[in-house]
Amino acid sequence: MIVGFYGILGEVIGREVEMDRPGHVRTVGELRRHLATLHPEAARELAAARSKASIDDRLVGDEVSVEGEDRVEFFPPLSGG
């Protein structure tokens, strides 16, 4: 799976990372926590509720499954224009 990042998350982690989804990572919330362990410098921002997850360009909650998804994105709070 590919995980995409924007804003400060993109700067700290990278625009996207390719990873094998471990079997125990089944939901968005679990993916957040897994990414936080892989990228501790971004852990606080990743864990924050104000950072949103998106699948297929739609915001999704932490309970949503990521099994079978090719791509998940994480957005820090918008700066606006």
Q: Report in angstroms how near the CB of residue 6 gets to other proteins at its nearest.
A: 6
**Of 62 and 71, CB closest to other proteins:** 71
- The residues, ordered by sequence, that sit 6+ positions from 54 with a Cβ below 8 Å of its Cβ are 60, 72, 73, 74, 75
Q: Report in angstroms how near the CB of residue 65 gets to other proteins at its nearest.
A: 22
Site residues, other proteins (CB under 8 A)? 6-8, 10-11, 54, 57, 73, 75-81
- The residues, ordered by sequence, that sit 6+ positions from 17 with a Cβ below 8 Å of its Cβ are 2, 3, 5
**Of 20 and 70, CB closest to other proteins:** 70
